[in-house]
Structure 1
Amino acid sequence: EWYNTYNIRRGSATLKFLASGSPTIQARNYWDDAYGTFEGLAYSNVSRREEKKDIEIYEKSALDLIEDTPVYSYRYNSDLSMEPKRVGLIYDEAPMEIMQFTGGIDVYGMASLMWKAIQELNHEINLLKGAV
């Protein structure tokens, strides 16, 4: 509802202040079709069942995806050479499951895959212990 919002735009980024429901601030892209939500001091993704559709259990092996994706140390072109290197993935080599159409990595999707990988490792540990 446009009348319950206040926007601040700088270049290709917009901060959108939503007044409906609980107060929310969103950082949105230029086209206003992708955003991250800030609640307090934490970053949060909408994750309620009623906000989602086409819900299915993810059956692929998260361990295989993680195993097949290299992690690099690097600097951005704008970083100074004296700054410490960053650690992360290269978008072009990331699994499709965590790619955002804007060219970034979906950190919530990445954390969810790590969660599933821990479940897979725990299952393997229990098999080795003879508990399953």
Structure 2
Amino acid sequence: MSEISVGQLARRAGVSVATLHFYEQKGLIHSQRNAGNQRRYNRRMLRRVAVIKTAQRLGFSLREIAEMFRELGEQQDITKDNWQQLSVRWHQALTERIEAMQRLRDELNTCIGCGCLSMDNCRLRNPDDALGEQGSGPVLWEGGES
């Protein structure tokens, strides 16, 4: 039997039925309807749910996961090659996030004991303040821009 019910998939994948419905609504997994109009999932969806749960655990949003799946193409199977592609991409994204968090941590070190959260000087409170160079206050409103 290549198809399983939503309840069977939920039990085997360790998620709730509502979670599966949500994943399907987001286009992450797919089902077919049988003659009784009940959802039936190909067993391949077990691997997709496992990949989704792994990606979530690594901190990726469902939007990011859906984008990654779209890049794999219409193929619903997660093959060894697909997994390799995803793993490389996840590794790169996680490395970038770790580096960003380390920069944030290092900037926080400059604030320890300060407590000012100055709009002029604090890189944590007001990072990359491009509009600050145009003056203080609501420069977009005063400038007539929308």
Q: TM-score, normalised by structure 2?
A: 0.27
Highest Rg: 1 or 2?
2
Q: Which has the higher strand share?
A: 1
Q: TM-score, normalised by structure 1?
A: 0.29
